[in-house]
Structure 1
Amino acid sequence: MRTLLSLIVFISALPALHALDWPQFRGPNRDGVSPDQGLAAGWPEGGPELLWTAKGVGGGYSSVATADGVLYTLGDEQDACYLYALSAAGKHLWKGRIGTPGGHRKYPGPRSTPTVAGGRVYALGQQGDLVCFDIKTQKEVWRNHLGIDLKGAMMSGWRWSESPLVDGKQVVITPGGREGAMAALNTENGAIIWRCKPFTDRAGYSSVIIREIADRKQYIQLTGESVVGVEATTGTLLWQAKRKGRTAVVSTPVFHDGHLFVSSAYNVGCNGFQVNYDGNKFSVKQTYMHAGSAGMANHHGGVVRVGAHVYGSNGNRLSCIELATGKVLWNEPSAGKGAIVVVGDKIILRTERGPVSMVKATPKAYEELGRFEQPDRTRSRAWSHPVVSHGVLYLKDQDTLYAYNLKK
């Protein structure tokens, strides 16, 4: 009887366990918000407990995806870029070849994060190889090349960095170029379902998000030329706002309650837009713009929304801006430039120079709650986004993955 009761309790807990997974870049909703709750309100001196480290996860700047007790990431070895699967204890389970390693001369390695859905893993290497693996068999199912097969084109030379979006039976990706900048592929075999033909921008480095506007599910994407909304089912271009970026446009758009926020570095800054629907067609208008670092010139650490405000790095500062109006509420230089994740009302900022800090997500003022140094830092910049899943903070630093206990 006791065994039966234990089994019932375990099965009933499965949905809750899955709800804490982080199956894709920036989490379940691609917004940098962790579903975890009830974690420690602060850190002791020296930081949270280091649970384990795992080496052999390859060079580069990929982040981590978690699903069903398995961790996934990408990394370069000398012969290839690989997908790695590890247990929740950091033990290597299996790996699969993605494509050629390397990439940018000064900053080689993959930048994309794998996506886990429907018993499969979808991964994009820096050279344009999009590969689907079956988790059970650990075998490759299909592959496409964004440059060769989809005739894609990039805005600059930092190589493909987008993390694939899986929506039902579609893998949504942004190869860029004249054939249609956004494409939906069949999850089963990689065949093209649709291309958004009127959308011909070169691909940037941002990843697509799903949002529903006026009861129409659409994919929102930012490039170096514009920000767009594409109908999920047909690939129809619903709206487009011109917005010029420079060199590299990386951060994922933020959308909430009709308000759209986008940001990029290289002295460009941030813009606010309002997306409307009049019952016949969509329209989009700019509501504010902050040039350069006057508001938020976010490089690649991402922007998060907590309530009515957005937070993100602005050069070497951490900034807070009111989403609807663009009002800058604070701009803190001591925080440092980095990538962020939100857990409850707290931001975890992983700076590119190494320190990791916890900051209260409040528009009132910058309030730091803790800070620690990751041990054995490499000389490379820490660009991999932090992940919080099942009470654990994951930090990838090139060939090493660190796991920290954030539970009370």
Structure 2
Amino acid sequence: MKRFALLLALTAGGAPLFAPAAHAADWPQWQGPNRDAISAEEGLLKQWPKDGPALAWKATDLGGGDSAPAIVDGKIFAMSIRGDDEVVWALSEEDGKELWVSKLSPAYQQRMPQSKEGPGGTPTVDGDLLYVMGMKGNVACLKVADGEIVWQRDLQEDFGGAIPPWSFRESPLIDGDKVIFTPGGDEAMIVALNKKTGETIWQSKMPGAAEAPAEPQEEARPQEGPGRGGRGGRGGRGFGRGPRAGAAYSSAIAIDVDGERQYVQFAAKGLFAVSPEGKPLWRYDAPANGMGINCSTPIYKDGLVFAASAYGTGGGAVKLQKKEDGTYEAEEVYFTSSMQNHHGGMIVHDGALYGGNGGNGGGFLACLDFQTGDVLWRERDAQKGSLTMADDRLYLRTEDGEVVLIEPSREKYLERGRFSQPDRTSSPAWAHPVVANGKLYIRDQGTLYVYDVKAN
């Protein structure tokens, strides 16, 4: 029998995708209000002083993890491992004082060395509730006010999900009355739950899914050597035993194609989409590397869906053509090996695609024409890392901990300041930067640094 815990009855009716925030520049979920890593905020510094922006405050002893914060209505939300527990916490946006902490489950210890310190998903805030996914697939809805758990589900037990080698790291997607998760199960690659009760609305296979179940985490082994050739099976130097089925490390997006909604996700074996009712719509395997280490969130812009991965693979753009049976043909427009995006994410602005190009061996920032895939420029002084954007500036956080301000340009690389985060841990800087309400948030495991980037 499926385990399901409804801990508290809820009131209120339906809501839009996100309830109105108290501040226009809030950051309610992974990659911001539109899941494109772009903030609508204005009035920020266009050039940084020599030593970077001023530190407003920092919070310490938060616990390990790469969970980037969500910021809504004066509160900051993220996740950590503290001692023997995986926890969700809230801080005051004003000074970093802890408001509450809620235990999600016993801590899960993954076997892979990188990012073993804690969870990587960002909470999703929707009105007076927030939604999280833990490292072993335990998902929950909590009260924003005090962290009280409203309901919980287990993606392994309830849907046959298998923990990926680096654990589950998805950030929940809210759309209308649904919350979307990716268990990666044989019969439930992707599922929709009622966001208020946690009850299952539907579960769906991956389009064109093979019969083999997801490979258990314990079967993954370190692997050295050349990558696999061929679309949908590229690879490089890394971990794994060949193509692994099931969930990867990406977070789903909701898109509208010719007025019809789709949920798009990047799983271990490929990019795919389902309808709001869970009907499989299309699949595109070319951007998936041979080890299933697909991390970056897909992009939908100007009629193209784009996804990319590292390990000698690259990225591909498809145009969606509806067929008579209601499914879609994903027609490849181009494929490029010049955007081997590892896990730092990508941004499209003014027809240009920005992102880190490179895998475990390092890499650098690249700028491509989004419609053609042609390389516009590459900059080795801007090392591979994670990106966000606000007020016509890109914020790059390299894996070594440098933070760089860049003016977007199709013509050339334009740096407008940089600084090195103090007191760096030995862990790769994988938590994405966040800009909200005039502040830049940089997390380094148990410490959250908050910088003032508002212009005078």
Instruction: Provide TM-score, normalisation by structure 1.
Output: 0.92
Q: Secondary structure at the match of 2:101?
A: strand
Alpha-carbon distance in 1 for matches of 2:96, 2:151: 27
C-alpha displacement at 1:137, in angstroms?
Answer: 4.4
Contact in 2 for aligned 1:99/1:127 (Cα 8 Å): no
C-alpha displacement at 1:103, in angstroms?
Answer: 2.2
Contact in 2 for aligned 1:214/1:277 (Cα 8 Å): no
2:200 equivalent in structure 1? 192
CA offsets 1:169-223 (integer angstroms, 9 cap, x no match): 1110111121121100111221110111354451111000111001101111111
Equivalent residue runs for 1:212-251 within 5 Å: 212-232=256-276, 234-243=277-286, 244-247=288-291, 248-251=293-296
1:63 equivalent in structure 2? 68
Does residue 322 (structure 1) correspond to residue 322 (structure 2)? The answer is no
Letter in 2 for 1:193: I
Letter in 1 for 2:87: Y
**Fraction of identical pairs, as percent:** 39
Q: Secondary structure at the match of 1:18?
A: coil
Letter in 2 for 1:211: I
C-alpha displacement at 1:18, in angstroms?
Answer: 2.9
Alpha-carbon distance in 1 for matches of 2:448, 2:334: 40
Equivalent residue runs for 1:263-282 within 5 Å: 263-277=308-322, 281=326, 282=328
Contact in 1 for aligned 2:112/2:165 (Cα 8 Å): no
* Alignment length (residue pairs): 390
C-alpha displacement at 1:348, in angstroms?
Answer: 0.3
CA offsets 1:351-376 (integer angstroms, 9 cap, x no match): 11011001111110111110001111
Taking a change above 3 Å as real, the CA distance of residues 45 and 168 of structure 1, as seen in their structure-2 partners, is: same
CA offsets 1:5-59 (integer angstroms, 9 cap, x no match): xxxxxxxxx9684321101000001111012112111110110010000012210
Q: Secondary structure at the match of 1:283?
A: strand
Contact in 2 for aligned 1:75/1:81 (Cα 8 Å): yes
Q: Secondary structure at the match of 1:335?
A: strand
1:84 equivalent in structure 2? 89
C-alpha displacement at 1:138, in angstroms?
Answer: 2.7
Q: Secondary structure at the match of 2:157?
A: coil
Contact in 1 for aligned 2:91/2:99 (Cα 8 Å): yes
Contact in 1 for aligned 2:393/2:405 (Cα 8 Å): yes
5+ residue gaps, structure 1: 1-13
Equivalent of residue 44 in structure 2, options 39, 52, 58: 39
C-alpha displacement at 1:380, in angstroms?
Answer: 1.0
Instruction: Provide TM-score, normalisation by structure 2.
Output: 0.83
Does residue 208 (structure 1) correspond to residue 262 (structure 2)? The answer is no
CA offsets 1:264-288 (integer angstroms, 9 cap, x no match): 0111111111112367642211111
Alpha-carbon distance in 2 for matches of 1:290, 1:125: 33
C-alpha displacement at 1:136, in angstroms?
Answer: 2.9
Alpha-carbon distance in 2 for matches of 1:241, 1:298: 17
Q: Secondary structure at the match of 1:93?
A: strand
Equivalent residue runs for 1:3-402 within 5 Å: 17-88=22-93, 89-101=95-107, 102-106=109-113, 107-108=115-116, 109-154=118-163, 156-199=164-207, 200=209, 202-232=246-276, 234-243=277-286, 244-247=288-291, 248-277=293-322, 281=326, 282-291=328-337, 295-315=338-358, 316-402=363-449
CA offsets 1:50-99 (integer angstroms, 9 cap, x no match): 00000122101110001111000111111111101000121100011122
5+ residue gaps, structure 2: 1-18, 210-244
C-alpha displacement at 1:240, in angstroms?
Answer: 1.7
Contact in 2 for aligned 1:306/1:345 (Cα 8 Å): no
Contact in 1 for aligned 2:155/2:183 (Cα 8 Å): yes
Contact in 1 for aligned 2:189/2:203 (Cα 8 Å): yes
Q: Secondary structure at the match of 1:318?
A: strand
CA offsets 1:312-365 (integer angstroms, 9 cap, x no match): 000221011111111111111110111000113211001110110011111101
Contact in 1 for aligned 2:299/2:305 (Cα 8 Å): yes
Contact in 1 for aligned 2:69/2:77 (Cα 8 Å): yes
Alpha-carbon distance in 2 for matches of 1:317, 1:290: 16
Alpha-carbon distance in 2 for matches of 1:43, 1:118: 35
Taking a change above 3 Å as real, the CA distance of residues 80 and 184 of structure 1, as seen in their structure-2 partners, is: same
Moved more, 344-353 or 274-283: 274-283
Q: Secondary structure at the match of 2:23?
A: helix
2:234 equivalent in structure 1? none
Alpha-carbon distance in 2 for matches of 1:270, 1:363: 19
Moved more, 103-112 or 69-78: 103-112
Moved more, 104-113 or 361-370: 104-113
Alpha-carbon distance in 1 for matches of 2:268, 2:158: 22
Letter in 2 for 1:92: E
Q: Secondary structure at the match of 2:382?
A: coil
Alpha-carbon distance in 2 for matches of 1:183, 1:401: 32
Q: Secondary structure at the match of 1:76?
A: strand
Moved more, 194-203 or 209-218: 194-203
Alpha-carbon distance in 2 for matches of 1:390, 1:239: 38
CA offsets 1:101-158 (integer angstroms, 9 cap, x no match): 232441311011111113111111111111111123431111111111221135x411
C-alpha displacement at 1:258, in angstroms?
Answer: 1.5
